[in-house]
């Protein structure tokens, strides 16, 4: 029997006004629900600009506790609209201890679970190690009223180990709130290679694990507050795939968009029966995967 849900990804540009951003997100969730969405995924750090372009201690003021104001507002909305919401927040866990955290609000308005970003980048324009402590919750799917969600965050999407561990723990969907873009100084062909790699690696996670993938990115140019670089032009292109990596929906590169797709939650089982990667794994010979490098 088919068990289909309509999923929505909210892709949009952000401003320095966090209240405006939240209002924009709330309206997007309402619009998605009106179009039949039962699962709504928000982009990474959707409340603010992507502040990790610089190392600025004042940016820690953007962090909030979980539970907190955002989860309260989104929880009420999830219950009102009867939808599951995947939100991405800058979590203040304790004084001097912060995480990049995804929160899942279920249809009853309660927090179904959280995931703290495990892989933390530290690259020009993406100075996340200054802000975020690596996650300590592991790769555990979150049980919701619509199924088990394997929620990961942005840089996690490049690591097949994270996707595999979520799938092995029973995740029915892999979900990636994301904030990724180009250095405007890169040549057009280099920009295309980067975008293609981003899409390919995530579609490969769907194929290798036999589960749909949902990746929600932001759009627009955000200036570098330090003026060291030309900022980041977020490339949008949010997308949803089925369990064989087939693209079910793909957003544009530049504009706000509510991306919708119907996902057959039962199809993964059929796919795994004919492509039994989990059956044929040679776990008795994978010990070296726990090493950083094989000398």
The dihedral sign for the CA sequence 112, 118, 119, 123: positive
Q: Which of 59, 91, 148, 154 is catalytic?
A: 154
- pLDDT range class, residue 85, cuts 50, 70, 90: very high
Q: Which helix (H) or strand (E) holds 168?
A: helix 160-168
Q: Partners of 233 in the beta sheet?
A: 182, 221
- Please report the pLDDT score of residue 278 as a whole number: 94
Give the angle subtended at the CA of 155 by the CAs of 128 and 241, to the nearest 5°.
Answer: 150
Between CA 156 and CA 133 the distance in angstroms is 14
Q: Which of 117, 128, 148, 222 is catalytic?
A: 117
Please report, rounded to a whole number, the percentage of residues in the chain having pLDDT higher than 90.
98
* 286 part of a folded domain: no
* 284 part of a folded domain: no
| Mean predicted confidence (pLDDT) in 143-164 | 97
- Please report the pLDDT score of residue 2 as a whole number: 61
Between CA 240 and CA 10 the distance in angstroms is 12
- pLDDT range class, residue 161, cuts 50, 70, 90: very high
Task: List, for residues 41-52, the tens digit of each pLDDT value.
Answer: 999 999 999 999
| Mean predicted confidence (pLDDT) in 199-227 | 97
Q: Partners of 98 in the beta sheet?
A: 92
pLDDT at 138 over 90: yes
Q: Which of 44, 128, 172, 222 is catalytic?
A: 44
- Greater confidence (295 vs 193) lies with 193
* 135 part of a folded domain: yes
Domains of the chain: total: 1
Between CA 124 and CA 61 the distance in angstroms is 22
Q: In this structure, what CATH number is given to the domain that contains residue 224?
A: 3.60.110.10
Cβ atoms of residues 144 and 137 within 8 Å: no
Whether 148 is catalytic: no
Task: List, for residues 7-50, the tens digit of each pLDDT value.
Answer: 999 999 999 999 999 999 999 999 999 999 999 999 999 999 99
Strands annotated E in the chain: 4-11, 39-42, 84-94, 97-105, 111-116, 122-123, 126-127, 142-144, 147-151, 173-177, 181-182, 213-216, 219-222, 232-235, 239-241, 247-250, 257-264
When the pLDDT of each residue in the chain is averaged and rounded to a whole number, the result is 97
Whether 117 is catalytic: yes
- Please report the pLDDT score of residue 242 as a whole number: 98
pLDDT at 53 over 80: yes
Whether 52 is catalytic: no
| Mean predicted confidence (pLDDT) in 80-91 | 98
* 294 part of a folded domain: no
* 285 part of a folded domain: no
Between CA 8 and CA 30 the distance in angstroms is 11
Cβ atoms of residues 41 and 177 within 8 Å: yes
Between CA 137 and CA 139 the distance in angstroms is 7
Q: Residue 196 sits in which domain range?
A: 4-275
* 282 part of a folded domain: no
Helical axes 160-168 vs 188-209, angle rounded to 10°: 20
pLDDT at 1 over 80: no
- Please report the pLDDT score of residue 27 as a whole number: 97
Cβ atoms of residues 107 and 89 within 8 Å: no
* 291 part of a folded domain: no
* 283 part of a folded domain: no
- Please report the pLDDT score of residue 295 as a whole number: 86
């Amino acid at each position: 029997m088919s068990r289909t849900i309509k999923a929505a990804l909210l892709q949009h540009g952000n401003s320095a006004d966090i209240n405006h951003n939240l209002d924009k997100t709330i309206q997007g969730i309402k619009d998605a629900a009106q179009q039949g969405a039962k699962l709504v995924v928000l982009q990474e750090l959707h409340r603010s600009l992507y502040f990790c372009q610089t190392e600025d201690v004042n940016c820690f003021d953007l962090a909030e506790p979980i539970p907190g104001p955002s989860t309260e507002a989104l929880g009420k909305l999830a219950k009102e609209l009867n939808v599951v919401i995947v939100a991405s927040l800058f979590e203040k866990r304790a004084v001097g201890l912060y995480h990049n955290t995804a929160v899942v609000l279920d249809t009853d308005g309660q927090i179904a679970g959280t995931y703290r970003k495990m892989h933390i980048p530290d690259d020009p324009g993406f100075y996340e190690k200054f802000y975020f402590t690596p996650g300590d919750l592991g790769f555990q799917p979150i049980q919701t009223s619509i199924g088990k969600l394997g929620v990961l965050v942005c840089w996690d999407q490049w690591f097949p180990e994270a996707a595999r561990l979520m799938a092995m723990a029973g995740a029915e969907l892999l979900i990636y709130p994301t904030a990724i873009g180009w250095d405007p100084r890169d040549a057009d062909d280099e920009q295309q290679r980067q975008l293609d790699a981003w899409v390919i690696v995530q579609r490969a996670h769907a194929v290798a694990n036999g589960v749909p993938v949902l990746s929600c990115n932001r759009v627009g140019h955000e200036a570098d507050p330090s003026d060291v670089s030309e900022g980041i032009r977020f490339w949008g292109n949010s997308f949803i795939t089925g369990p064989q990596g087939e693209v079910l929906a793909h957003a544009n590169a530049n504009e706000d968009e509510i991306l919708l797709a119907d996902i057959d939650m039962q199809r993964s089982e059929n796919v795994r029966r004919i492509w039994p990667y989990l059956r044929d794994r040679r776990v008795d010979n994978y010990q070296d995967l726990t090493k950083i490098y094989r000398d």
